[in-house]
Amino acid sequence: MFGLSELKQTRVYQEGKQEGRFEAKLEAVPKLLALGLNVEQIAQALNLDISQVQQAVQETPLNE
């Protein structure tokens, strides 16, 4: 039978896990901006490219 440990080793599981981590990082961007960090500091802290952080800033609604 296909158990949890086998599932965790599949490519689909690993890709989904990575995508979830990436999405969580992007969700943190507006909060870090609100704390006064700049784009470069956020990129460094979250291990993202500056362009990824800038895109997340542009996609963030103003009321967040």
The domain limits of the chain are 27-64
In whole angstroms, how far apart are CA 36 and each of 2, 14, 22, 54, 55? 47, 33, 21, 15, 18
What pLDDT, on a 0 to 100 scale, did the predictor assign at position 30? 94
Going residue by residue through the chain, which has 64 residues, state the pLDDT in tens, using 9 for 90 and above.
Answer: 678 888 788 888 888 888 999 999 999 999 999 999 999 999 999 999 999 999 999 987 765 5
Q: Could you tell me the pTM of the whole model?
A: 0.74
pLDDT at 61: 76
pLDDT on residue 12: 86
What stretches of 1-64 show up as alpha helix (H) in DSSP?
4-8, 11-34, 39-46, 50-59
Dihedral of CA 63/50/11/2: which sign? negative
